[in-house]
Amino acid sequence: MTLRWPSESIWEAVAPDLPGFTVEVLQQIDSTNTELMRRVRAGQLDPLLLVAESQTAGRGRLGRDWQSDESSLTFSLGLPLEMADWSGLSLAVGVSVATSLHPDLQLKWPNDVWLQDRKLAGILIETASVGAMRYAVIGVGVNIAAREARGLSTAPASLQELLPGIDAPQTLQRLAAPLVEAVKRFEVLGLAPFLEMFHARDALAGRDVTLSDGTAGQARGVDGSGALLVHTSAGLRKINSAEISVRPRN
């Protein structure tokens, strides 16, 4: 399939505020995150939006695979960032993605994008230290058209349920420039400007949840650093470990 990607219009919107920014579209790669991490190790530190029409080894959080089909959107934004406190970046990215796509989308801590309790988009953030600075690789995968459950207990949600006919290039056009803006805003102001928007879309708030370490409790939103607050029989627990996952019980 040959797609027409809005590389030029994204570049025009982003480059004035992000010197050295480029957009690159590949037909196939193992993973856009893996490729950007390879390039960082090879010394390529300019900001880059790398889009792949297909990935052969897409990666998700917690060491999981990320399966996508030919209608999916898969891309990574790589850029150097200077900030003391990185906690909460993944929430800010989730807020940006959900806000750019549709008012009905919710966020499942830390940054899964959900439609009616089904996953519509996933985000994987990785960083590399280069001398005194850090380079962030922000990978986003969006399900565009309906697809089978393929080993999952429920079929994933798709953006076309909300926006019939939308395709991957149109989705990228909606996401890219606001994402860069959100990340640059986070670099200066931290999570504070995103918190209210996260709370408005919080899919877990007030619900009974189970953590991957077996703990049960009730989700009570997030704190100022982006940690998930869970009321358990042992009191209020703050979950900030990237290694813990959470799921609603109802």
Closest CA to 93 of 139, 37, 39: 139
Selected range binding ligand BTN among 70-78, 100-108, 127-135, 146-154, rule: CB under 6 A: 70-78
For ligand BTN, the closer of residues 115 and 123 by Cβ is: 123
174 tagged catalytic: no
What's the rounded Cα separation, in Å, for the pair 37 and 56?
16
Position among 66, 114, 135, 194 found at the interface with ligand BTN (CB under 6 A): 66
Sheet holding 246-248, edge to edge: 235-239, 228-232, 216-222, 208-211, 246-248
The nearest distance, CB 164 to ligand BTN, in angstroms, is 23
108 tagged catalytic: no
Distances (CA, A) of 18 to 12, 43, 123, 138, 245: 10, 18, 22, 16, 34
Site string for ligand BTN, 85-114 (x = CB under 6 A): ---------------------------x--
Which residues are designated catalytic?
A: 61, 119, 247
- Per CB under 6 A, residues contacting ligand BTN are 31-33, 55, 58-61, 64, 66, 74-76, 112, 122-124, 139-141
